Structure 1
Amino acid sequence: MAQSLSNFTDLIRSVERSAVHLEMRDVYAIPNEDERFAAWRQGHRLDPDDRESWWRPWLDVVQEITAKGVRLRRARIVSEPPSEYIRYEHSFTFTNVAAGEEIRWLPRRLSSGLALPGNDFWLFDGRLVQFNVFDGDGHWVHTDQTDDQATAGLCSDAFEAVWERAIPHDKYTA
């Protein structure tokens, strides 16, 4: 299934209690990040005091939904030493935290023994799972959604197991 940013924004705005996101890849090839990634490679870093320069409109949506009481958590399973992309991602994650997301990092070596789904996912209100499927080079392929309760339970358990072991963003160094 193809999904537009506006469809996803509508979906996350419909959340009433919680949204969790598990990311398990070391590289994402997201076309709208190409310029920012290239600038980061050349030494550009986001200024913590210049909120207007941060990633919009996503951070506005994060602020909106967390202000209405939705708990938004993201966990990232990463190889160490981290890939260049993960170091880039880590460099601006403070903006997500400032907007209201809770973010933790789990070194991949600490994930052995955890039952994990095969794809990154979002879990909305513990009932709707959205899998984001990527190819081997990190390009988004498609999105699958299910409200199957067994699948939602598996994803919830996997996320909570990762969350319990993971390191809060302010304590993790990439």
Structure 2
Amino acid sequence: MRYTIDSERSSIVIVASSSVHPIRAEAPRMSGWFTAGSVGAAGQDARDVVEGEVVVDASALRTDNPLVERELKRRIDVGKYPSITATTTGCVASDGQRVSVTGEITFLGRAVPVAGILDISTGGPDNEAHLVGQQTLDVRSWGLQPPKFLLFKVSPEVEVAVDLVGIPG
């Protein structure tokens, strides 16, 4: 079944560590779609179970620190690269309602292959679907160098957590 992402109830959270404190960014504006179905036996090709695309409005990324937010938007050049897009390219059943998904994330004009595990749940009173997962990514894969200034240094590895809520249609 095909679902449209409900951006009001979905979340994408990015957490980076720094020499001072964790940096948390959220993507409040996103759009896209995904399919979600029943997961078969482990190892089974499951491309019909999960496929989709998520587009994040890069200019809407928010952090808990206005200075960090301004620097983030400057570094990712939201005028030139207004969106971040994640697209699936493959899916294999893992166990239970879990799938191993491959895809690519296009960020700063570069499409980089990624892989991860998603948990799927469907049903409920509104026939909605949830895709939940998290993955560690290295921002240098997209050519982004994390900031460092005197004793302040940001790690290039970030933890990305997604919780997508889809409504039928």
Q: TM-score range by the shorter chain?
A: under 0.3
Richer in strand (by share): 2
- Max radius of gyration: which structure? 2
Q: TM-score normalised to the size of structure 1?
A: 0.21
Taking structure 2 as the reference length, the TM-score comes to: 0.22
